[in-house]
Amino acid sequence: MYNKTTSAYFLKYGKITDSFKTNKKLKKKKYKITNKEVNMLYSYDTSVYIEVVEGMAIVVIGNQDLTVEPQLFVIHRNFKINKGEYFSFITLTSLSMLNFYTYPSTKKKSLDLQRNISYEPICPKFMVSEICAYYYMVKSPGYIFPGESHGYFEITFVDSGTLETNVEGVEFTLKNYDLLVYGPNQYHNQEIKSNEPCSYLTIIFESNLQDYANIINRVFHCPREYYQILDKFVKETTSPLPYSKDLMLSYLQELLLHLLQYDLEEHITKPATPIHQHFENELLEEILAYINEKILEPLPVDDICDRFSISRSSLQNLFRDNLKIAPKQYINEAKLAKSKVLIKKSEYTISEISSMLGFNSIHYFSRKFTHRYNITPSDYAKKIYD
């Protein structure tokens, strides 16, 4: 993050001023800046005044003995550089035009840098150029996709059930919230060997990503933030807004960026001490187990607080710090996830499932289910046995 010449940090080297414009003793000279890096700094024995005429530029300031890393400031408004300070300029745009105001008798010194200082623009390392296809599927036990290979990337994300896939002769098993990336021209098949249906999202896309060796041929168990990105992706697939498709590309690229640095990211916020972490882990596991056990019963947040002798705010913090979600929202999502399992078993009607899970009405349940999974409960049931 760059500072500006208007920031307090710059006061060590100069200050913002327009007073030089009325000083008739100063001599003006125009400079054209085209360089994106510098290897030399300059110092004057009097103050120097700078006026930006065109473009945007950075002033690089360093000390004579180079014991401190040179500082970079984006030029904002006209300013003065104190006498004796070593400085130079880098343009941010294709070129910048600056006016220098100095006294006629001013003398200049130069200083060679130990290394070049350069401006590094923020540019994407890769782009998702096209989403070729995307679909959400619910397949019954015994389903077999014989296999294919193509010149595109492909993501498969399982949100319920178990999916077996063979990639170039290597077997992988994807369970709830697991994700796998197929690389271009990788032959792969898919099969459901369990006795339960499996629902999963597939995205096929084109990208100029070159450094993908670390994200293919491995199963990622997605933390909640990844799942939320995919959730936003799915919601945009039916959005009527003009830039919804652009958002889909952005969400897909965001997911890939997380996968590329998956091994470097902290997926769970850790408390200050191991003892505290251990306590939170055990308490959270007990609460989640209780919610799962009582999922077919009403689960007011206050009842959970009473059960585990914890304040409402502490419960909120526990879920926020470890799961990035509020307790009530977690319970609602757990109930909706349970409804998918019950629908798959085909032992109850949609109305009975709605009542079992404590929803006020089947219409309310249907609305929440559709909003969460972008498909109605009845259509979901049909897809399982389609």
In a shared domain, residues 290 and 238: no
In a shared domain, residues 243 and 152: yes
CA–CA separation, 331 and 336 (whole Å): 9
In a shared domain, residues 353 and 377: yes
pLDDT of residue 266: 63
Cβ atoms of 218 and 161 within 8 Å: the answer is no
Residue 123 belongs to some domain of the structure: no
CATH number of the structural domain spanning residue 242: 2.60.120.280
Residue 341 belongs to some domain of the structure: yes
CA–CA separation, 97 and 99 (whole Å): 7
CA–CA separation, 365 and 79 (whole Å): 63
In a shared domain, residues 61 and 94: yes
Of 231, 264, 297, which residue sits at a domain end? 264
pLDDT in tens, the chain (386 residues): 779 999 999 999 999 999 999 999 999 999 999 999 999 999 999 999 999 999 999 999 998 777 788 999 999 999 999 999 999 999 999 999 999 999 999 999 999 998 899 988 888 999 999 999 998 888 888 999 999 999 999 999 998 889 999 999 999 999 988 999 999 999 999 999 998 888 899 999 999 999 999 999 999 999 878 988 998 898 898 888 999 999 999 999 999 999 999 998 765 444 444 444 555 677 888 898 899 899 998 889 999 999 988 889 888 888 887 777 899 999 998 899 899 888 888 888 999 999 999 888 999 999 999 888 888 999 888 876 55
In a shared domain, residues 238 and 278: no
Cβ atoms of 58 and 23 within 8 Å: the answer is no
CA–CA separation, 371 and 349 (whole Å): 20
pLDDT of residue 189: 97
- Other CB atoms within 10 A of residue 378 CB: 14
In a shared domain, residues 341 and 218: no
pLDDT of residue 340: 87
pLDDT of residue 64: 79
CA–CA separation, 335 and 354 (whole Å): 10
CA–CA separation, 60 and 125 (whole Å): 26
CA–CA separation, 14 and 23 (whole Å): 18
Alpha helix ranges (H) inside the chain: 224-236, 244-260, 274-293, 301-308, 312-323, 327-345, 350-356, 362-373, 377-384
Range of the domain at 298: 274-384
Of 137, 134, 133, nearest in space to 159 by CA: 137
CATH number of the structural domain spanning residue 368: 1.10.10.60
DSSP state of 26: -
**How many residues appear in the chain?**
386
CATH number of the structural domain spanning residue 92: 2.60.120.10
Treating both helix axes as pointing N-terminal to C-terminal, what angle do 312-323 and 327-345 enclose, rounded to 10 degrees?
60
Of 50, 64, 143, 139, nearest in space to 97 by CA: 50
- Please, which residues bridge with residue 365 across strands? none
In a shared domain, residues 100 and 181: no
Query: What pTM was estimated for this model as a whole?
Result: 0.66
Of 294, 76, 78, nearest in space to 304 by CA: 294
In a shared domain, residues 91 and 192: no
In a shared domain, residues 136 and 257: yes
Domain count, the chain: 3
CA–CA separation, 74 and 57 (whole Å): 6
Of 118, 149, 167, which residue sits at a domain end? 118
CA–CA separation, 212 and 153 (whole Å): 10
Residue 269 belongs to some domain of the structure: no
In a shared domain, residues 212 and 301: no
Residue 248 belongs to some domain of the structure: yes
In a shared domain, residues 199 and 256: yes
pLDDT of residue 385: 56
**For residue 228, what are its two tokens?**
């939320």
Of 215, 234, 264, which residue sits at a domain end? 264
In a shared domain, residues 155 and 232: yes
